[in-house]
Each structure stands twice: as C-alpha cells, then as structure tokens.
Chains A and B, each alone.
Chain A
Amino acid sequence: NAGVMQNPRHLVRRRGQEARLRCSPMKGHSHVYWYRQLPEEGLKFMVYLQKENIIDESGMPKERFSAEFPKEGPSILRIQQVVRGDSAAYFCASSPSGAYEKLFFGSGTQLSVL
C-alpha cells in the first residue's frame, strides 16, 4: 500500500513563474491537506480538500495560491507569480476519514524561488 506520493521532490522557480505541486493520497483516502513548513519551524495549515470540494482554505494566502482535488487525478497546489518568500517545504497529507485525524504525510516538495 503506497503512501502519500508528492512530486516533484524539488522544484526551482524564478520569481514570477508558476509552481505546481502534486499530491496523490494513500489508497482509500479521500481527504487531503496541504501544509507549509519553513526551516526550523512547525507545519502551518494551508487547505483541506475532499474530492472536488474545498472544505477549509483558511490557511491559504488570499492571492496567488489555489488548490484543487479533482474527481480523477492528484491534488494540485498552485502558486502563481512566485516570490522568494514562497520558498519552503510543502507537505501534503491524507486521512481515511475527515476531521483532521490520523493524517499521513508525504515526503514533501521543496520549493526554491530564485
């Protein structure tokens, strides 16, 4: 049973470009969460999605960031017009049931903005 799969592991973008981060949840999981982690800090909640629905996006910046979890395919976290402050590790987690319990995390995508 494969775990949560994230790709790419490393992503380098220049300022102003777009970044797309992908996450495939564990088999049987229909709840996906995105977190951001800065160096030597804890994880900060961004968004919680179920298939085709955004349940809670209270942690998402108001501009440039969006997330989706389509009926088919992985969840996508999209960052438009990236800035250096977007550089961070972005982790995706999935859970078998909702309500933020027993989250299983992927290995993350390290985004570096030049």
Chain B
Amino acid sequence: GESVGLHLPTLSVQEGDNSIINCAYSNSASDYFIWYKQESGKGPQFIIDIRSNMDKRQGQRVTVLLNKTVKHLSLQIAATQPGDSAVYFCAEKDNQGGKLIFGQGTELSVKP
C-alpha cells in the first residue's frame, strides 16, 4: 500500500520567511526520494532529489534533508516568494517493485 504521507496538508507563510515541508515514509528499504511542485492546472515540476546514502542536498533556495532513523524527509525553501505557492509532493522510490510512490501533498500559501 501507500507508504508516503505528509504531516500537514496546508502551510501558510509570510513572504520572505523560510518554509519547511515535512514528509514521512514507512519503507526503510527505500533508497531514493524526490520533491515535486505542482501549480494549479499544471504537471508536477521536479525540484530536487536525494539518495539514501546522503543526509542533505542543496539546490537553488531549496534544501532537502533525509533522516533515515525516523524515516523523515523535509523540504526547506529559503526566502519564500509568492511564486512558491503551490502543492508540494514528496515521492519515494519503492525498491521492492521500483515504482515512485507519491504522498498526498502539502499546499503552500505565501502571504505578501
């Protein structure tokens, strides 16, 4: 069954603040994780990925943290902008069957 879920369905932040979106997974054997951003009416857009042999990976204004001990994944967005408003999905690669399994999503709303 599904093994990836998010702690909070909605997150509202002030423009310029940092955002943290959390994700829990249950399959300790998963070895690859990925974050997507989906704006209304559009397809998911790749943000950043991380393998299980890493704890942290940084991109432009985004950082993904992986805590394998508690099976937790987070996406940090620095200096959040109105254009960051979207639904964010984490996804886990199921190395049993190989499928990419998506969580339910967190809606990020940025207040000006």
- Chain A interface residues (CB < 8 Å from chain B): 4, 6, 33, 35, 40-45, 48, 56, 58-59, 91, 93, 99-108
Contact = CB atoms under 8 A, between A and B. Distances in A.
The 4 A-B residue pairs with the shortest CB-CB distance, nearest first, are A105-B43, A42-B102, A100-B100, A43-B102
B99 A106 contact: no
A42 B104 contact: yes
B101 to A, nearest CB: 7
B46 A100 contact: no
A43 B98 contact: no
Given A91-B43, A102-B49, A106-B43, A58 B97 contact: yes
Contacts of A103: 34, 46, 100
A102 to B, nearest CB: 6
B102 A102 contact: no
A66 B34 CA distance: 27
Instruction: Report whether over half of chain B's contact residues are helix, strand or loop; otherwise say mixed.
Output: strand
Contacts of A105: 36, 43-46
Contacts of A102: 34, 46, 49
| B-side interface size class | 20 to 34
A41 B46 contact: no
Contacts of B104: 41-42
Given A35-B102, A100-B93, 11 more contacts: A4-B43, A41-B105, A43-B102, A44-B102, A45-B100, A56-B98, A91-B43, A99-B93, A100-B98, A102-B46, A103-B100
